[in-house]
Structure 1
Amino acid sequence: MTNRTFKSGESRDQASLLPARIEDYVGADNPVRAIESFVRVLDLAKLGFRHADRKAEGVGQPPYDPADLLKLYLYGYINQIRSSRRLEREACRNLELIWLLKNLKPGYRTIGNFRKENWVALKAANRSFVLLMRELGLVGGSVVAIDGSFFHGDASKASIFTRKRLADQIGKLDQEIEAYGKSLEDNDAAEARKPGQDGSDGGGAGGGDLGAKVAALMAKRSRAQADLARLEENGETQLSLTDPDARLLVKSGQGVAGYNVQTAVDDKHKLIVASEVVNDSSDVGQLHAMAIAAKEALEVKTLQVLADEGYYSSRELKACEDDGITAYVPVPEGSARLEKQGRFALKDFNYDGVSDTYHCPGGHQLHPMKSRQKNTSGRVEIRYAARGAICRTCPLKIRCLGSNAAYRTIGRWEHEDVLERHRARMQGAGEVMRRRFGIVEHPFGTLKCRAGYRHFLVRGFDKVRGEWSLMALCYNFTRVLNILGFDAFLAALAKAVATCRCTLAALLTPIQVALAALWTNIGLPLAIGRPTPA
């Protein structure tokens, strides 16, 4: 036996009568086989993928099958490979991708254009997987948690201008132009004082340079003024020069140039059942839209929704209640300022629904006024006022009235009963709200920390929403594969295909029966009129 220093491989020049197949390099339980099976189940033409319903043509180079490019992207996003150039390289050297694509090697432009052009179809594919999760019983359908997270866009903070920033820029440019203008005047005066010169050379050697700088500043100021006018005309607050839909989002002192991704996560297995991409840094106004999207995706009549304090809105709570959605949102401490001043807040006044009056801490009544008014948020409120004579002699006057107020007034929203039911519900919701954090933060933590997906590679709402659909789909795909296991996942896909075929057969059976009866009726007269052979 020969002693060897190290293990040695086979010679690269070794000839082989039967070379190894690509199939031999991919194990029977390799996740790429799950990707292959899932894409095979999808009806790409129905989902809207470009070229999915293309028929063979006589001339020209045929395009790549959208199924192959979708497999490529699913594999890439599951394995933290998003760049079209990196996907092109991996398709040439990665044995799993060589097996998955059957040795196809698409170029990076083809790969990148597929993601840009099929954003609607990518959203539809994500929705179809949510339906599959529901059919497999992986979603509870009773409780979802909603939250948002900032993702960087393909734009920098310097490329986004607000009205204030444009106004400040115009002010600084005016100062610089004025300074350069003064320099030109001083230069002209100095040249005029020199003996033997009449100053007709345009300000001496430095005059031309100063004039060019002033012209550049004037052009820059004109562009800034045009951008400011554009913002005022459109009623927008920000202008992005790189990505037109990206915005400067600020929360808790942290600024991000990008988008706010909203998700609704089911509590059973922490799967994303609904999501949307917006460019507003505030979560106010997103509660009802996300809750409705989750309810429609789950196809349930009632739903419990958990959200943090940033989603609190009286109008959103009423809209949720009207649509059979029970919302749990912490009530913000809006009266903290009055409490710090030692004054009575709204919660210190008790409402009596029978008499439609408020009772103040001093035991007196506040009666409704005839007029209605809108507050700063646009809500119609009923004003309740106490008697001025009682307030002037009340011993609690200092803690109740402001410095210029003659009597105490309270505003009550015309749908205040919705908020009262919500406040009563939140009294014992401590355990439910503790669950919220563990439910909704799981997908964001996985995508941002494990996968490293903190930014988008594309620009514009449509393309960004398509890329987010890929992220959400791959997160759900990986999690479902881990929950069920490889064999159970493939069995579930096979069952889904069989169910679809059975449904199609059930729909076709009446049609076949009707056609058979039709042909029988048609064939009977033909048989009667046919001459009998001799």
Structure 2
Amino acid sequence: MSFIKRVSRDQVLLLPDCLDDYVDENNKVRFIDEFVNGLDLSECGFTYPKERLDGRGRPAYDPADLLKLFIYGYSYGIRSGRKLERACKVNLEVIWLMGKLKPDFKTICDFRRINRNAFKKASAQFTLLCNKLKLISGDFIAVDGTSIKAVNNISKSWTKNKLNSALKKYEKEVEKYLGQLEELDEAPSPNREEKQNKLKSSLVKNQEKSQELKKLKQKLDTTDKNSICYNDPESRPLKKGRKSTVGYNVQHAVDDKNYLIIAAEVTSESCDLGSLYPTIKAASDVIKEVKGANLLADKGYFSNEDIKACEDDGYQSYIPEKGCPMEGKGFYGKPEFIYNEYNNTYTCPAGQILQKYQNKKKDCKTYWIYKSPEACVNCSRKDKCTNSKSRSIQRWEHEHVLENVRERMKAKPNIMKRRSAIVEHPFGTIKRHILTGGYNMIGIESAQAETSLAQLTYNLNRVLNIVNFSEIMSFLKGRKSFWQKHVQNHLLMSSYINTKAIKMLIRQKNQVNSLIILV
């Protein structure tokens, strides 16, 4: 049976291959190269290396080249400095992108660490490019959060409750070993000395661990934090459903047209409450056109202040309200009570009028209390309303804002399915293919840098799947300059090409020039 014959490794090539021939015209690396070349890196905050004044020493690497390397690496889930170093030597696409540069892993990692605050602006520049290509509609913006693991372990993270339970456990162990030592003293056995040594060793270990936890508890009591993490002190224990991890809460604002991420913010908050307005504000800072969009979020974002701030900025919020505590007890919920704006009263399910009773301030917010004790005494539906003497209704001073949200939710009951379809897609892609296994760097600023790189590469991959490659490349550079550069690169290789090939290039150049004239 015959097979395709491979080229011999010791065969001498008289005409070396051109590096540009190994990369397809529609390859992603060509787009990455053109995009980064068009960025003003100093405006984004990337630091340019300063050569020594005496002229000695090796020149530093261009930040543009290292940024291209990171964009390529994160787009394929390659984030380790050593793996990126190896890719510069064995990956033909990376060799083309880097122009045969081979930085070592320390240079690569130092660039990411030093410029960690600049990646966010570079990602914002790509989002603006998507907006210019009209890939972002700004009609519906979905906001949601997810937890991404930090460089930490759940066993190296301590909360107050976890510390107290661990201290009780070790104290019980110490008491147990002390009791067993006393029993050995009272009832000697043949292996008494050996057993005593084992018990004393275990006793010392538990006592040392108990003392260590006591010091940790004292340190935690002196701070306003609820937890302490060894490896990454800025990370927090996060629990969603039955899963627990130590990491960061990442908030995303995603557009509904092509599921492109407009903003990605890293927080150390353990829940999503209070993160709605800051996230949408970060999105509007990047793209001003999203102001006034329809805002979609789940019930974990239902915060009075956040919703009012979004409504004041012109956003139309669609957020389901959390269940009423009274409904959980089997009583009438607040929606069963109808508010009369003209009389400033509430009508209960039994038809009784609840008058404004008093004002109440809670968490710097003013509430009005409505009740009618006389009507509740002989009410036939009291057993379905309350188990107290009378039922009272609490109304926020800006309750009309929340009522508008409730009316919108009633008009579009299936809107939450659309929200999950918009925002869950980026989460799954990023956590599965880009930030696999969590973050590689320590600190919230470094986590933000990796999140921004993940946002940029996710958007980049989406755009290349949506838009025709030649069209988006034409947007980045003129067709004329592209052909001129293409011809020039081939002519530079003329010293390595025989006369027949040179004549072919000349004919190609003449054809290109005629095409340029026609354009």
Is the CA contact 2:255–2:262 (under 8 Å) kept in the aligned structure 1?
yes
Among candidates 322, 328, 339, match of residue 332 of structure 1: 322
Q: Which residue of 2 aligns with 1:407?
A: 390
Question: 1-side partners of 2:332 and 2:202: how far apart?
Answer: 62
Shift of 1:275: 0.9
1:77 equivalent to 2:74? Answer yes
Shift of 1:57: 5.5
Is the CA contact 1:291–1:325 (under 8 Å) kept in the aligned structure 2?
no
Letter in 1 for 2:57: G
Question: 1-side partners of 2:162 and 2:373: how far apart?
Answer: 49
Q: 1:338 to 1:7 in 2, by over 3 A?
A: closer
Q: 1:347 to 1:134 in 2, by over 3 A?
A: same
Q: Which residue of 2 aligns with 1:459?
A: 442
Among candidates 375, 387, 411, match of residue 373 of structure 2: 387
Shift of 1:424: 1.3
Gaps of 5+ in 1: 195-202, 499-534
Letter in 2 for 1:464: A
Q: Which residue of 1 aligns with 2:452?
A: 469
Among candidates 38, 42, 47, match of residue 41 of structure 1: 38
Is the CA contact 1:458–1:464 (under 8 Å) kept in the aligned structure 2?
yes
Gaps of 5+ in 2: 482-519
Q: Which residue of 1 aligns with 2:146?
A: 149
Question: 1-side partners of 2:232 and 2:373: how far apart?
Answer: 58
Letter in 2 for 1:462: E
Q: Which residue of 1 aligns with 2:228?
A: 239
Mapping of 1:53-202 within 5 angstroms? 58-187=55-184
Letter in 2 for 1:264: A
Q: Which residue of 2 aligns with 1:524?
A: none
Letter in 2 for 1:39: V
Q: 1:115 to 1:208 in 2, by over 3 A?
A: same
Shift of 1:418: 1.0
Q: 1:53 to 1:302 in 2, by over 3 A?
A: farther
Letter in 1 for 2:225: E
The 3-state SS of whatever aligns with 1:338 is helix
Q: 1:383 to 1:101 in 2, by over 3 A?
A: same
Q: Which residue of 1 aligns with 2:350?
A: 362
The 3-state SS of whatever aligns with 1:430 is coil
Q: Which residue of 2 aligns with 1:299?
A: 288
Question: 2-side partners of 1:271 and 1:384: how far apart?
Answer: 46
Q: Which residue of 2 aligns with 1:290?
A: 279
Question: 1-side partners of 2:54 and 2:456: how far apart?
Answer: 33
Question: 2-side partners of 1:327 and 1:425: how far apart?
Answer: 8
The 3-state SS of whatever aligns with 2:477 is helix
The 3-state SS of whatever aligns with 1:464 is helix
Q: 1:41 to 1:257 in 2, by over 3 A?
A: same
Letter in 1 for 2:310: C
Shift of 1:306: 0.8
Deviations 1:346-365 (A, max 9, x none): 22211111111112222222
> Rg: which structure is higher?
1
Deviations 1:44-75 (A, max 9, x none): 22222233576876112222221111111111
Q: Which residue of 2 aligns with 1:271?
A: 260
The number of residues matched between the two structures is 478
Deviations 1:210-255 (A, max 9, x none): 5554343332212211222222222222211122222221122222
Q: Which residue of 1 aligns with 2:216?
A: 227
Question: 1-side partners of 2:158 and 2:451: how far apart?
Answer: 25
RMSD between superposed Cα atoms in Å: 2.6
Among candidates 425, 440, 461, match of residue 408 of structure 2: 425
Q: 1:52 to 1:36 in 2, by over 3 A?
A: farther
1:255 equivalent to 2:244? Answer yes
Shift of 1:153: 2.1
Is the CA contact 1:351–1:359 (under 8 Å) kept in the aligned structure 2?
yes
Q: 1:11 to 1:372 in 2, by over 3 A?
A: closer
Shift of 1:263: 0.5
Q: Which residue of 2 aligns with 1:216?
A: 205
Is the CA contact 2:359–2:367 (under 8 Å) kept in the aligned structure 1?
no
Question: 1-side partners of 2:260 and 2:370: how far apart?
Answer: 47
Q: 1:57 to 1:80 in 2, by over 3 A?
A: farther
Question: 1-side partners of 2:43 and 2:231: how far apart?
Answer: 34
Shift of 1:208: 6.1
Question: 1-side partners of 2:140 and 2:52: how far apart?
Answer: 45
Give the TM-score normalised by structure 1: 0.83
The 3-state SS of whatever aligns with 2:239 is strand
Question: 1-side partners of 2:34 and 2:452: how far apart?
Answer: 19
Shift of 1:473: 0.5
Letter in 2 for 1:357: T
Is the CA contact 1:45–1:52 (under 8 Å) kept in the aligned structure 2?
no
Deviations 1:469-490 (A, max 9, x none): 1111011112122222222222
Shift of 1:106: 1.3
The 3-state SS of whatever aligns with 2:273 is coil
Shift of 1:24: 2.3
Give the TM-score normalised by structure 2: 0.85
Is the CA contact 2:51–2:60 (under 8 Å) kept in the aligned structure 1?
no
Q: Which residue of 1 aligns with 2:430?
A: 447
Q: 1:56 to 1:12 in 2, by over 3 A?
A: farther
Question: 1-side partners of 2:54 and 2:139: how far apart?
Answer: 50
Letter in 1 for 2:352: H
The 3-state SS of whatever aligns with 2:55 is coil
Shift of 1:303: 2.2
The 3-state SS of whatever aligns with 1:234 is coil
Letter in 1 for 2:242: G
Shift of 1:5: 2.2
1:398 equivalent to 2:390? Answer no
Q: Which residue of 1 aligns with 2:334?
A: 346
Letter in 2 for 1:252: G
Is the CA contact 1:251–1:281 (under 8 Å) kept in the aligned structure 2?
no
Letter in 1 for 2:13: S
Shift of 1:320: 0.9
Question: 1-side partners of 2:319 and 2:146: how far apart?
Answer: 17
Shift of 1:428: 0.9
Question: 2-side partners of 1:146 and 1:74: how far apart?
Answer: 25
Shift of 1:314: 1.7
Shift of 1:281: 3.5
Q: 1:66 to 1:287 in 2, by over 3 A?
A: same
- Fraction of identical pairs, as percent: 37
Q: 1:124 to 1:171 in 2, by over 3 A?
A: same
Question: 2-side partners of 1:62 and 1:189: how far apart?
Answer: 78
Q: Which residue of 1 aligns with 2:465?
A: 482
Shift of 1:317: 0.8
Is the CA contact 2:152–2:231 (under 8 Å) kept in the aligned structure 1?
yes
Q: 1:318 to 1:472 in 2, by over 3 A?
A: same
Q: 1:55 to 1:428 in 2, by over 3 A?
A: farther
